[in-house]
Amino acid sequence: MDGQHSERPRSRNTADRVPSATSLNPRISSSVSMSMLEPSHMKAPQDSACRNQQAHPSGVLPHKSMSSQAALMFKDRKMFMEEAYNSAICFKMLRDIGSSELPYLQFVIKRVRNMAQRSPSLVMETIRDYFTDNPQISSRHKFRLFQVLENVIKASDCLEDPWRRSFIQLALDNMTKSTELEDTYQDAASNVLVAICRHSWQTVAQHLETELLTGTFPHRSLFYVMGILSSHEELLNQEDRVHWEELLAQIIVKSVKFLDMDLWSKELLEALTKPSQTQQEHPPEKAFLFTYYGLILQAAENSTTVRTHLQALLETSHQWPKQRESQSFEDLQWKWASSTILLAYGQMAARAKTHILPWVDNILSRMIFYFRYSSWDETLKQSFLSAILMLVGAISRSEGAHSYEFSQTSQLLECLMVLMEKEPPGALCTTSRQQVIHIASKLCELRPPIDKDRKSRLLSTCFRSVFALPLMDTLERHTCLFLEPPNIQTLYSQTLEALDHMLQSFIMQSPTASEMKFLLMHLYPWLASEKVHERQRAAHSCMILLRFLNHRCFLDPKEDFRPMGQLIGMLGILCKDPDSVTQHFSLEGVGQLYQFLMHQKAEAALQEESHIPKELSQPGANEASPWSTGDQRTASSLPQKVMSPEDTIFHQDSSRAIKEIMKYLTATELTDLVWTVIEGLGSTSAFHMQAAAELLLAVIWEHGAKLETTKVANMGRAIHRHLCSVHVPKAKKNVLQAITLLARDHTSELVAAFLDFSMPLDSHALCLWKALGAEKSISRLVLAVLLAWLKERPLSTRAGNGNAHPKEKTYLYSLAAMNTLHELQFMQEFKKVMQEAYPQLLLALLTQIHYVLELNLPKAKSLPGQQAQEAALPSPQSTSLEALKSLLFTTGHWHDFAHLELQGAWERFSSIITYPQGVVLLARAMVKNHCRKVKAMLGQLLPSLQSQEERERKVAILIFNEFLYSPALLEVLPTQAARTVLAKVLCDPSPEVRVSSLQALGNILFHPEKESLLRAQLPHFLEGFFQKSEPVVVGIMNTMSEVLHQLGMQGAGAQSLNVAINVHIFFDDERDQIRAAAMALFGDLVDTMAGGKLSDLQTQVHQSMVPLLLHLKDQCPAVVTQAKFAFYRCAVLLRWQQRHILFCTLAWEHSLSARHFLWTCLMTRSQEEFSIHLAQALKYLHSCHHMMTWAILFIGYTICYFPQAMSQMLSNRDMDLLLHAFEDLKKDPAPSIQEFATRQLLFFQKVSPRSQK
């Protein structure tokens, strides 16, 4: 009992499982039919002698008991050998049936039954020993052994007590086990118990009574056995039947007490309402359970208990009216009254003939009632479907059916969809699906027409129920336990054919392109399924539908067949399916579609020629085309090429087939085709995504120019959305190549679309922009379009307000274009066009910075969780400035970049107030570095001075003013022409532009006499350097710098040396601002000498290099900045090599290696410079701590690389000073400085002559 009860939870949980394939057919018979097991061609061997069936069995199997072997010793040798042979044969057959097919199983049962008739004990002993010695055999093997054992027990005239006890226990142990065969296995074990009842029903009944009265709700197998004993009259004779009913009455009385047990009552109610797992026509366990429960209630004396249980039953009456009828304690045949009534309705409809129409709604309403308020099993479902089929058949035979409106058809369709949804999704064993589809198809032909929503649900339900079935092998495995399994292949073919007929019926009812599109929309998800067999089935149905459409030609040629493009896209992708069958169906579908397209075009041409209106008809298979003209011209009169495409194309080469059919598509159809393949890029299936990419490339290659321009932008956005799903490199390459081809005819649309996701740009957006620049001619156009978008600079009325409505944020496109231009500067595809368009880009980006400052966009609030995100999303201000920087650097104008970087001029672009200073410094750097683009820039500046945008005119006039100092100006614009330009600008509406123009008119270019006047003021400026007031001195130095700038390339002339000597004095001034101003002035002086003779100023420059270098460690940041810039300008004047590395080192490097590089630049040029630089470094050993440290490091490097020269040049006083300096430096807080000082001290002690002494 413990083992039985431990199995009960699993047996109850099987109600929630999907029924097995076996359970969908009537259960395998409990007794094998003799007509099946004894075919005429099987001849059983005849027994040589009549045996005494009461004799003890014998055998020679290895596991026989000792008593059996001892008994065999007294038998005749011939008898011994014969029984040993029979026992061995029986054992072998029992072993083989575990892996045998159905025909051999039938043969084995036949042989074992014949053997049991001669030697029942031998066979039973062999079966018992086989179970005992092989406990690990499979459930399927045990199931077949139970079938054999059942037939052996039935064939035996008597059953000895040892076998009876053994087999009863075997059956009890297995009839409650849960296996993968579910109830089928339990019923097979229970049938053994039923077979034993033929010999000793009392013993079995005692075991059943014991199990029933334990207080735990019994397993369903016990009710199964008792149900068969109660309902099968042939099992018990009349006398035994009376005793059985008496025993049952006693059991009923003893069971009344269980009604008060909550758990027992709850499990009873669950068993009553649980649907049968086996879908058997008359489940014996359920029938007996109703009887058992009803008799217990009848025997109960407590009325309260009875009312409680009846109330619980009534609460479930809407689900189980059939069971409620069984609880009326009347004949159990009432349980099947619903089935009889349904069939009666069907027969009545079939015989009513023409009189059926007025009664249809009445009959249907009653059928629907039984459907909704009945507990459904296979019998009632088949009765319902049979009755509906008879009714639908009667309606279709009535002449006036199509003019009659039926009010119940929609409700009946709902019932049919429920039936279809309840069909087991993993099995196909009955014709229910095809019957439902056939009925639904017929109902849709009636009036009123079915509404779109209901038809949509019907199509979805039918497609899901048929296409989603498992593979054929899986479906066949579900029927492997059937003695008469159905032909699954035929059954499925018939079901699929019924589905195809339903689709064709819908087209015949509504022969329009919209109806065809409606049907295909429900088919597309299955064509794109990830499962091979689902795609294959959908492709087959699609091909059959297209073949029907092509042969019948229902659609009006003048009607736009909108599904064409999408359908070609789906079939074109499936032509690359890895499944060859799907490929074949898809390619044939493309061929059918091609024929249909050609026929429609030919018919439309004929109609235009004849101008004769046509009437829509539905011809038969042999009738003329419904769109034939009045002179009976048919499709057969059309050219042969139109009616049948080349077989080599539409049966072999899918690529050529798709290209051929695309020739005849309209722009709208091509657009739909492209949309379909773009959506295919998002598929999770690798083949689907790759095929979509190939087809996209093919369509764009052939017909990219024909696509609807208004749709291309959305296509670009969709491609970006799906590009993240394209993980196959070849497919991604095809998609990007398609973008390149599409840009040839739709550049502006794609650029506009890509700007939508270019702020910021992800990796996929960058790939798309690279694809746009793959062709040089297109990259130029892309850049032009981006510049046009960049110049779309509206000022929001709510600028600075982050809550502005999205529609008001039109400036976002300008910012997106700016962000994109910044990224494109680093792409190889745009490198050349960026260099070509440098003047336009420079002006545009300078203007953009001003525009962003005008917008005054709010900065994102700093939140702890957003810090990483803020780092990844720079502000528009920083992006605009970075775009300008990268333009200078990536286009080879790093000299101009270096001038601004070393001056710290980029900060000037962060404010609208200092912005003009930044533009001036950039333009001045271009003049100083003799930029090659000055001429081209002047060509852009002149139109910009006439621009409608004030900010653009501001930028142009600031740059133009600085370009007046460039010799290249006069090559483009004569002096008088330049003066005229500036004079016109004096009328500009902007005061700032007029002021700048007025200042430019005072340039020395227009007033050469100013040169001598300005130089005459230089000595007076030099005298002012020695004023005590720091602001006065700084102001004088700044004024002198401006004078040098106004003098242009001539500079201070002969006074340059005097200026340099006087300025050099203030490099080490105690006042920070004066040191910075002096270095800036010295740098400006050096700039005026660039390109001239160095003899006069060379010594001063050399003497300034070490002070400037050491001041890189000055405590004042302004001094450090001016020291860097002045040092770099001196290096340019001295024509040092590796200036780019020098710039990078000065700008961003701060390590010891950077200091070593700068030392190398100074000390390895010449002996004369070496002496000057070393002398300068020794002077700084007496300066402040930071300067002294840097000087010691400088000298330390010199000692390491030039020890002999150092020992000759250093005096004893210098050596003592250096030793003390290195000792002090060992205490520096920086570990690297400490280590350097220690090493230098040891080295210095080795090379110093004094130390050696």
Cβ atoms of residues 1044 and 1052 within 8 Å: yes
In tens, the pLDDT along 619-663 reads: 343 333 333 333 333 333 333 344 444 455 566 678 888 998 998
Residue 326: CB partners within 8 Å, gap ≥ 6? 287, 290, 291, 294, 332, 334, 335
Of the pLDDT bands very low, low, confident and very high (cuts 50, 70, 90), residue 748 is very high
Task: Categorize the per-residue pLDDT at 745 as very low, low, confident or very high, splitting at 50, 70 and 90.
Answer: very high
Single out the residue of 438, 698, 1013 nearest to residue 690, CA to CA: 698
What pairs with residue 405 in β-bridges? 447
Q: pLDDT confidence of 1233, banded at 50, 70, 90?
A: confident
pLDDT for position 557 = 67
CA 487, distance to chain mean position in Å, is: 40
Most confidently modeled of 568-577, 650-659, 1020-1029? 568-577
CA distance 107 to 89: 13
Please count the CA atoms within 13 angstroms of the CA of 612 that sit on its side-chain side: 12
Q: What pLDDT score was predicted for residue 807?
A: 42
- Residue 546's pLDDT is 92
Contacts for 123 with CB less than 8 Å, ≥ 6 apart: 90, 112, 115, 116, 152
Instruction: Compute the distance between CA of residue 700 and CA of residue 747 in angstroms, rounded to an integer.
Output: 14
Instruction: Provide the b/e sequence for 1071-1083 (b: ≥16 CB within 10 Å).
Output: ebbbbbbbbbbbb
> Quick one: pLDDT band at residue 31, thresholds 50, 70, 90?
very low
Element (H, E) at 1169: helix 1167-1179
596 has pLDDT over 90: no
Residue 355 backbone zone (phi > 0: left; psi -120 to 50: alpha; other: beta): alpha
Model confidence over 487-522: pLDDT tens digits? 889 999 999 999 999 999 999 888 888 899 999 999
426-446 pLDDT, tens digit per residue, is 888 888 999 999 989 988 888
Mean pLDDT is lowest, of 72-81, 477-486, 872-881, 991-1000, for 72-81
Q: Quick one: which of 580, 581, 466 has its CA closest to 526?
A: 466
Q: Can you list the alpha helix ranges (DSSP code H) found in 611-762?
A: 640-643, 647-650, 654-662, 667-680, 686-703, 709-723, 729-742, 747-755
Average pLDDT over residues 236-248: 84
Q: Angle at Cα 154 formed by Cα 152 and Cα 159, nearest 5°? A: 80
Record the tokens describing residue 1123, joined without a space: 């020291």
Indicate the Cα dihedral angle 289, 290, 296, 298, nearest 10°: -170
What percent of the chain has pLDDT above 90?
33
Indicate whether 359 pLDDT > 90: no
Q: Residue 1164's pLDDT band (boundaries 50, 70, 90)? A: confident
Measured CA to CA, the distance from residue 617 to residue 613 in angstroms comes to 13
Tokens of 200: 């000793």
Say if residue 207 is exposed, middle or buried (CB neighbours under 10 Å; 0-12, 13-18, 19+). Answer: middle
pLDDT tier, 43 (very low <50, low <70, confident <90, very high otherwise): very low
Contacts of 586 (CB under 8 A, 6+ apart): 539, 542, 543, 571, 572, 574, 575, 577, 654
User: CA-CA distance, 203 to 183, in Å (whole number)?
Assistant: 24
pLDDT band for position 153 (cuts 50, 70, 90): confident
pLDDT band at 347 (very low <50, low <70, confident <90, very high): low
pLDDT at position 606, please?
Answer: 74
For CA atoms 271, 275, 278, 283, the dihedral sign is: positive
Q: Tell me if 842 sits within 8 A of 939, measured CB to CB.
A: no
Burial of residue 580 (number of CB atoms within 10 Å: 0-12, 13-18, 19+): exposed
Rounded to a whole number of angstroms, the distance between the first and last alpha carbons of the chain is 110
The values of phi and psi at residue 718, to 5°, are -65, -40
Q: Considering the chain, what is the average pLDDT of its residues?
A: 78
Lowest pLDDT segment from 126-130, 1032-1036, 1132-1136? 126-130
Cα atoms found within 13 Å of the Cα of residue 1199, Cβ hemisphere only: 27
Q: Is the pLDDT of residue 816 over 90?
A: yes
Angstrom distances, CA of residue 363 to CA of 88, 346, 368, 387, 636? 64, 9, 9, 10, 48
**Is residue 1015 scored above 80 in pLDDT?**
yes
* 3-state secondary structure at position 1136: coil
Per-residue pLDDT, 57: 37
- pLDDT over 70 for what percent of the chain? 77
Please state, in angstroms and rounded to a whole number, the distance separating the CA atoms of residues 480 and 545.
Answer: 34
Average pLDDT over residues 928-944: 92
Q: Which stretch of 307-316, 932-941, 1143-1152, 1206-1215 has the lowest confidence by average pLDDT?
A: 307-316
Q: Residue 571: what pLDDT?
A: 94
Instruction: Tell me what the mean pLDDT of segment 683-707 comes to.
Output: 93
Q: Count Cα neighbours of 357 within 13 Å in the Cβ-side half-sphere.
A: 13
Give the model's pLDDT for residue 35.
Answer: 32
Q: Render 828-876 in DSSP notation, one character per residue.
A: GGGHHHHHHTHHHHHHHHHHHHHHHHHHTPPPPP--GGGHHHHHHS--H
Long-range pairs of 83-86 with CB within 8 A, sequence gap ≥ 24? 83/57, 83/58, 83/59, 83/119, 83/122, 84/59, 84/60, 86/59, 86/115, 86/119, 86/122
Task: Please list, in sequence order, all residues whose beta carbon lies within 8 angstroms of the beta carbon of residue 445, skipping any fewer than 6 positions away.
Answer: 396, 402, 505, 509
**pLDDT band for position 1150 (50/70/90)?**
confident
For 190, the token pair is: 């229970």
Cα–Cα distance measured from residue 1072 to residue 1120, given in angstroms and rounded to the nearest whole number: 10
* Range 827-837 burial, b when 16+ CB lie within 10 A, else e: bebbbebbebb
User: d(Cα 384, Cα 630) in Å, to the nearest integer?
Assistant: 49
pLDDT for residue 102: 62
| Separation between Cα atoms, residue 1168 and residue 904, nearest integer Å | 33
**The two three-digit tokens of residue 779, written as one number:** 């990259």
3-state secondary structure of 761: strand
Nearest-angstrom CA–CA distance, 1065 and 489: 106
Query: Range with the lowest mean pLDDT among 155-159, 411-415, 721-725?
Result: 155-159
Residue 451 and residue 411 in contact, taking contact as beta carbons nearer than 8 Å: no
pLDDT at site 89: 79
Average the pLDDT over 293-317 and give the result.
66
Q: 81: how many CB neighbours lie within 10 A of its CB? A: 12
pLDDT of residue 1240: 75
**Is the omega angle on the peptide bond into residue 358 within 30 degrees of 0, that is, cis?**
no
Instruction: Record the pTM.
Output: 0.67
Q: In this predicted structure, what is the pLDDT of residue 178?
A: 84
Task: Give the best-scoring range by mean pLDDT among 12-26, 270-284, 367-381, 510-524.
Answer: 510-524
pLDDT band of residue 995 (cuts 50, 70, 90) is: very high
Q: How many CB atoms lie within 10 A of CB 597?
A: 19
**Which of 557, 391, 559, 585 is closest to 500 using CA atoms?**
585
| Phi, psi dihedral angles at 407 (to 5 degrees) | -90, -15
Per-residue pLDDT, 631: 35
The residues, ordered by sequence, that sit 6+ positions from 397 with a Cβ below 8 Å of its Cβ are: 353
Span 1082-1129, pLDDT tens digits = 999 988 876 656 666 788 888 888 889 888 888 899 999 999 999 999
- Banded model confidence at residue 77, pLDDT cuts 50, 70, 90: low
Closest CA to 130 of 97, 108, 156: 97
CB atoms within 10 A of CB 79: 14
For tokens 């018919």, what's the residue?
603
Once rounded to an integer, what is the mean pLDDT over residues 167-182?
84
- Alpha-helix residue ranges (DSSP H) falling in 213-315: 220-231, 238-255, 262-273, 284-299, 303-315
Please give the pLDDT value at position 444: 86
Nearest alpha-carbon partner for 624 in 516, 551, 564: 551
Provide the pLDDT for residue 1243.
74
Beta-ladder partners of 447: 405
Above 80 in pLDDT, residue 22? no
Distance from C-alpha of 596 to C-alpha of 611, rounded to nearest angstrom:
22
